Structures are given as structure tokens and as C-alpha cells.
Amino acid sequence: MIFTHKILGLGCGIIVLLVSITGACWVFKEEIEALYEPSYTFSLADASPLSASRAREIAQMVFPEKEIHGTLFREENSAVEVIFYQAEPEEFYQSLFLHPYSGEVLSHKDHFAGFFAFVLRGHMYLWLPPSIGAPIVKYGILLFLVILCSGILLWLPPQWKNWRQRLKFHWKSATRWRRKNYDLHTIIGAYVFALALVFGFTGCVMSFPWFYYLTYKAVGGSKEPRFVIPANQSQASLAPDIGIDQLIPQLRKQEPLANSFELHYPTHDTASIYVEVASNRSVYYNRDYRFFDQNTLEELSTNSIYGIYQRADFSDTMIRMNYDIHVGAIGGLLGKLLAFLASLLVGSLPISGFLIWYGRKNKNRRKTPQKSSSQY
């Protein structure tokens, strides 16, 4: 057990350190960006709000060769955000912010630029090419789960009644640095074990499709565990774009308390329109994914776990919560703070673990006595 913990720790330590530090930096991304990114608020006008088709038309003139992922409608007096994303032939991820009435281009944002984009690249693939770095991170975190389990087994006292002593520092003035470092490693490891296990487990759910599938089935899932866009059910067609332009005003009336509506344009004639309805910007798990026939606007059902949240059962909810749990958002600001501190402490474990190995390796070394240079 000691050998396994040591070898895997030395092999994956730098991965755990970098992923933990970048994870801690990512936790408060939304709160920090809100401090410096422009925020647009306009007076409600008598003019008609910008339609989905017009927003697409304006945005496509700015980036004519790029693919639109969707258009985000927040409050009626807020800017409309058109989101571009494509993975090939090269990755492109930018947003255009449009005036909610005139359609004037107010600003744009490159999601691949800036501090948090740098942090995310480090967290996901250690700033290496994705084809190289992503597998290193994924399998490193999978091995991290083994390191955690072996570490907690090594921490357990021979007699259970003495477990409380393993959670306290017993330092004296004469305590050497090796002992202090060992206590830091074992005691901090014990305190953050549960959260570190959650971070590692939820990270594996996002990294490995087989891990995701097995987790969903293990908690009793019976639906399609992937995102499925249902096909249209009708053949009759409305006039071009009339249906899609009616959809957001219709949804605003149905859900007046919603925070935002992210509309995704059909990718082909037989695909439905889908709208992601958010009631809270801080979490993702409770969003509604609603699908509409692009010809008749009839709402369509889906057997996917990504549908109306109120119809989600326990297993669906657990999987949908995965990202919010991973970043601590499930607990609000307090949960994020806890995730931030725990990530920093987890990042300290590879450092203290390396120092334990280094100290033990060198503790029996003696300085080689120098020969006398006296002249006779």
C-alpha cells in the first residue's frame, strides 16, 4: 500500500498540483468577470425587440464564415448575446453583444482569450496540445482516486479509538521539519479526503464517457444519458423564420421569472429548435431544455436526461448536478469558497508528499569527511 501510494503520488503529483491550482482559480470566474466586463442596460423602448432571425443575420455579417451556436436573450432591457462556436477546421469561440432593439453591435468577447481561458487550458490539458494534454489529465485524475483511497487506508490508525489523535498537530519546539511536513500531509489529507474524492470523481464523470455512463446506471438511470435533439413531427412549414421569431416572446410570457433563454437554431430542415431556459445564472443542473417543432412550434418531448427539469428523477438530477458539484456552485457562494480552499489544500498534498519522499531518501546521508590538507 505504501509503495502504491508513493509511486503513484510521485508519478501524478505535478498533474494533481496544476489541476488543483487551476481549479481553485476557476471557481470564482463568474463573480470576478462581472467586476470588469461591460454590463449593458437599456430603457425599455416602444420599438419591437430584436428578433432571433435578425440577431442571427446581423451576427453572421460580422463573422460570415463561422458557425452560430445560439443566441442568448436575458432581460428585455439587456444586450442580446450571439454565441459562435465551432471545433473544426479550427476552434472558434466568440460572442457578439447586440443592442436589444436596434441590433447595433456593442462589443464582442473572445472566450479563448484572457486569464480564465489560460486557466481552463491548464486545467483541462496542462497547456499542452489537447490531443496530448487531455489524456494525461484524465488518466492522472483517475489515478488520483487510487492515491486518495490508498492514502486514507494508510492514515487509519491500528486501533480505531485513537483516530482523533490522527487529526491534531502535536508540534513542540524540538519537532523537526520532517515530522511537521509529515503531519501536514497526513492531517490535511484526512480533512480534505471527502472533497478531494468528490472533485476527482466528478472530474472523471466529465472526462470518460464510460465512467459517465456507469455512474448514471449505478444510480438507477433509465433514460438516454446524452443530449438528444428530437426531429420535427410535422411537414407543414411556416413562412421562413416566422416560427423562430415567435418563440422567445412566447416563452417570456410563459416563464416571466426566467433569467435567460438561449435559443439554438436548427442545424437542418428536420431538426427541432431547442431553447435552454435558465432560472438561475449560478447553477446549470436545474435548467429546462425545451424542444419545438420548427414548422408548427409544437413542443416536443425527449427521452434524454436533458429535458424539463421538473420531470427529472433522482438519477437524472445527480448527473445534471455533476458540474455544479465539481466547482462548488451547488452550495452557492459558501460552496464555492469551500471548493476554493479545498482545491488549494489538495494542491499542497503533492508538495508535502514529495518532501516526505525526499526527506526519507536523504535522511541517512552523511557528509563525507574531508581529508586534512596539512603539510608535513
Phi, psi of 256 (to 5 degrees): -65, -20
The proportion of the chain whose per-residue pLDDT surpasses 70, expressed as a percent, equals 93
228-281: per-residue pLDDT in tens? 999 988 776 655 566 789 999 999 999 999 999 999 998 888 889 999 999 988
Residue 178 contacts by C-beta under 8 Å, 6 or more apart in sequence? 355, 356, 359, 363
**8 Å CB contact between 166 and 185:** no
pLDDT at 203 over 70: yes
Collapse the DSSP code of 327 into the 3-class scheme (helix H, G, I; strand E, B; otherwise coil) and give the result. coil
Q: What is the pLDDT of residue 304?
A: 94
The residue assigned the cell 438530477 is 317
- pLDDT for 375 equals 41
pTM over 0.75: yes
The per-residue pLDDT for range 275-334, each reduced to its tens digit, is 999 998 889 999 999 999 988 899 999 999 999 999 999 999 999 999 999 999 999 999
Q: How far is CA 306 from the centre of its chain?
A: 17
> In the predicted model, what is the mean pLDDT of the chain?
89
Q: What is the pLDDT of residue 361?
A: 76
Specify whether the CB–CB gap between 45 and 102 falls below 8 A. Answer: no
Strand 260-264, strand 80-86: pairing: unpaired
Cα 175 from Cα 23, distance rounded (Å): 33
